[in-house]
């Protein structure tokens, strides 16, 4: 999967302000809506929050992958957001999450969603990448790290 087709400068938020799980999700969804990536902000937020209620998407090593399926999008969309001080996302390792990869895909399409998650997981398994993402100051720098 070519991440350059999904991730663009307007889908990267280098400084999240919210400090709760719900706040982070709502801020990222609002950011995606402002970038014109989805048609129904409320439906998108509800899809991600409903998925999160089933099981936390806080992984480990400071990464969380909140996602959902909704007809507020007609194809896979994604955003990357950074929170420097971290947010409790009920991660598997019990540590705060700093890097948020949020994806939304249509209700009836699973393939691209799974391919994107596999590719981003492969990238983030590189030990030095999470630290470099946290050190990046701009959306351009973050994009370069993920798509170079």
Q: What is the pLDDT of residue 112?
A: 82
- The two tokens of residue 57 are 């998407």
108: domain CATH number?
A: 3.40.930.10
Q: Is residue 5 part of a domain?
A: no
Q: Which of 80, 59, 77 lies closest to 68 in space, CA to CA? A: 77
Q: Is residue 20 part of a domain?
A: yes
Residues 72 and 41 sit within 8 Å (Cβ to Cβ): yes
Assign 144 to helix, strand or coil: helix
Q: What is the pLDDT of residue 1?
A: 67
Q: What is the pLDDT of residue 3?
A: 83
Domain count, the chain: 1
Q: Is residue 3 part of a domain?
A: no
Q: List CB contacts of 30: < 8 A, sequence separation 6 or more.
A: 41
Q: What is the pLDDT along the chain (148 residues), one digit of tens a residue?
A: 678 888 999 999 999 999 999 999 999 999 999 999 999 999 999 999 999 999 999 988 899 999 999 999 999 999 999 999 999 999 999 999 999 999 999 988 777 888 888 888 888 888 899 999 999 999 999 999 998 8
Q: What is the pLDDT of residue 140?
A: 95
Q: At what angle do helices 21-34 and 41-54 cross, to 10 degrees?
A: 150
Q: Is residue 6 part of a domain?
A: no
Domain holding 58, by residue range, is 11-147
Q: Is residue 55 part of a domain?
A: yes
Q: Is residue 75 part of a domain?
A: yes
Q: Is residue 78 part of a domain?
A: yes
pTM for the model: 0.93
Tokens 């996602």 sit on residue: 67
């Amino acid at each position: 999967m070519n991440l350059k087709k999904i991730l663009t400068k307007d889908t990267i938020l280098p400084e999240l302000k919210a400090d709760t799980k719900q706040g982070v999700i709502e801020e990222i969804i609002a950011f995606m809506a402002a970038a014109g990536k989805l048609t129904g902000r409320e439906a998108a937020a509800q899809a991600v929050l409903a998925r999160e209620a089933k099981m936390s998407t806080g992984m480990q090593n400071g990464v969380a992958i909140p996602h959902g399926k909704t007809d507020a999008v007609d194809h896979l969309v994604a955003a990357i957001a950074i929170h420097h001080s971290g947010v409790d996302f009920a991660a598997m390792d019990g540590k705060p999450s700093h890097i948020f990869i949020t994806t939304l895909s249509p209700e009836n399409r699973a393939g691209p969603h799974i391919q994107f998650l596999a590719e981003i997981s492969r990238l983030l398994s590189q030990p030095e990448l999470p630290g470099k993402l946290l050190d990046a100051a701009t959306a351009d720098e973050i994009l370069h790290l993920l798509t170079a």
